[in-house]
Amino acid sequence: MTLWLMAGLLFTPLAWAVLTLLTDFTRGRLVTWGGILVQVLVSLGLWLVVSRDGGFYYALGGWQAPLGIELRVDGLAVTFVLLTAVVASACGFHAGVYIDPDKPWHRYFWPLFWFLWSGLNAVWLGGDLFNLYVGLELISLSAVGLVALGGKAGALRASLRYLLAALLGSLAYLLGVALIYGQFGTLSIAGIVFWLEEHPVPAGSSLALALMVAGLALKTALFPLHRWLPPAHGIAKSPVSALLSALVVKASFYIAARLWLELGEPLGNLAAAQLVGLLGSAAVVWGSWLACRQMELKQVVAYSSVAQIGYLFLLFPLTYSVSESVSLQAQQGITLQVISHALAKAAMFLAAGNLVLSTGSRRVDALTGVSRFLPFSLFSFALAGVSLMSLPPSGGFAAKWLLLQASLGSGQWWWVLVLLVGGLLSAVYVFRICRASFLESPETNQFYHPHRSLEIIPMILALLSLGLGLVSAEVLSVMALPFEEEGSP
């Protein structure tokens, strides 16, 4: 049973990437729908298996650790696998209708989409540092390709910027990996932890951790390394922006978070933890402020991503030398923030894409009067905004509530201010878009009406993000499941 689930999870995206390479856009869409069905079923199956039996290590193809690829299937990983399945299939269905099938280069959307998906699954499940690197590169290269699909000079420029930033980030990460291997003689995260239990911390290994985290922070667009993100996410086609903001930046963060949780205590220090937290807070404030000032709709959403990513990095100070319960609260809060932001931001980008399609302009002030023509998309946008503003009962509220408790529980009250200011500023930029849409103007009555299914998909995502707060306990319960330690290297 597990064999088939794992095979389905890792093999189908790669197989579908090759299959869709051979077809044109329309046929590729049909093939993709089949693949999405398989992926959703397999992800759901794996989630059910783990929530029933707990996590386990899985050696791919029966090859054991140093030689083969060992996958770590735990509650958090399957939760993200399932999240990927939900968001990516929504974006896949949306793209099938949204993207113009007549432009010949658009047929490469499907192969890139599937390579992206396989890279994401590899990162969620990867257990050793080098395979995580390969997964990250697969994600980055296909994401860059997806941004470049826009085809115009601006899109290529943004994708080149993105590519250079991503490559620099991966090299910094890989240099850290090289140092770690030189130091510990193993690449598996569990193996390093095991080694550290028996030996004193070697000098210079903090540098390796710092390099890896810095590289990953660049790939996650942490302030002040965020400047590649808004052009890339803003100019890409809306389903692509949704995939990038919702999932791609989370992959590099996920690796950084796992490194920190496993190796932060022995190799990190308090100053570094506080510094990362401070940069995250700066991202929240600066990103939200810039989001309020953007003239283009999708740039607003992209800068809002910079801000929301900032919250994630509060994980570093809130889990360093604090009590077990506070650390757990912080981890749960961050997990919920990742999930709710992924759902809300995907909904927001897809809805923004509909609004852009309808008004024929990317500018915020062109939205005048769109509330009468596209109320459904605008409503999805606002509902997703509710989650970003972290109002109850949304997933964003539950996430920030947990983070608030963790900040107070660890005596680091200053992060509470960041949570409050960030919430207020996000309300400002969401309301700004809504206000622009409700203004009436006599001369603008030319609206194109997008296909009905384009409007339903963001609504579903926004509702999921909103409802996440109600079922957060169930979602988080999978994370705390026992994990079989045998088979650990």
Partner 1 sequence: MTAPLLYALAGAMLCGIGLFGLLWLSHLLRKLLAFNIMGSGVFLVMVGLPQHQGGPDPVPQALVLTGIVVAIAATALAVVLIRRYYHLSGMTSLEGDPASREGGAE
Which residues bind to partner 1, rule: CB under 8 A? 66, 130, 133-134, 137, 141, 144-145, 148, 152-154, 156-157, 159-161, 163-164, 167-168, 171, 174-175, 177-179, 181-182, 185, 187, 227, 230-231, 234, 290, 293-296, 299
Copy the structure tokens of residue 439. 């203004």
Peptide bond just before 442 cis, omega within 30 deg:
no
Write down the least CB distance from residue 43 to partner 1, Å.
Answer: 26
Q: Which is nearer to partner 1, 160 or 456 (CB)?
A: 160
Whether the Cβ atoms of residue 415 and residue 277 lie closer than 8 Å to each other: yes
Q: Which is nearer to partner 1, 70 or 455 (CB)?
A: 70
Copy the structure tokens of residue 2. 């597990």
Q: Which is nearer to partner 1, 11 or 105 (CB)?
A: 105
Copy the structure tokens of residue 401. 């509530």
Write down the least CB distance from residue 148 to partner 1, Å.
Answer: 6
Write down the least CB distance from residue 416 to partner 1, Å.
Answer: 28
What do you get for the CA distance between the two ends of the chain, in Å? Answer: 24
Q: Which is nearer to partner 1, 180 or 383 (CB)?
A: 180
Q: Which is nearer to partner 1, 174 or 403 (CB)?
A: 174
Write down the least CB distance from residue 109 to partner 1, Å.
Answer: 16
Q: How far apart are CA 83 and CA 246, in angstroms?
A: 10
Pick from 161, 272, 269, 157: which is nearest to 225 by CA?
161
What is the Cβ-side half-sphere exposure of residue 265, based on CA atoms within 13 angstroms?
Answer: 13
Q: Which is nearer to partner 1, 18 or 420 (CB)?
A: 18
Q: Which is nearer to partner 1, 5 or 125 (CB)?
A: 125
Write down the least CB distance from residue 457 to partner 1, Å.
Answer: 27
Judged by DSSP in three states, 369 sits in coil
Q: How many CB atoms lie within 10 A of CB 181?
A: 15
What is the Cβ-side half-sphere exposure of residue 476, based on CA atoms within 13 angstroms?
Answer: 22
Write down the least CB distance from residue 118 to partner 1, Å.
Answer: 14
Whether the Cβ atoms of residue 432 and residue 455 lie closer than 8 Å to each other: no
Write down the least CB distance from residue 78 to partner 1, Å.
Answer: 26
Q: How far apart are CA 77 and CA 481, in angstroms?
A: 12
Q: How far apart are CA 353 and CA 454, in angstroms?
A: 9
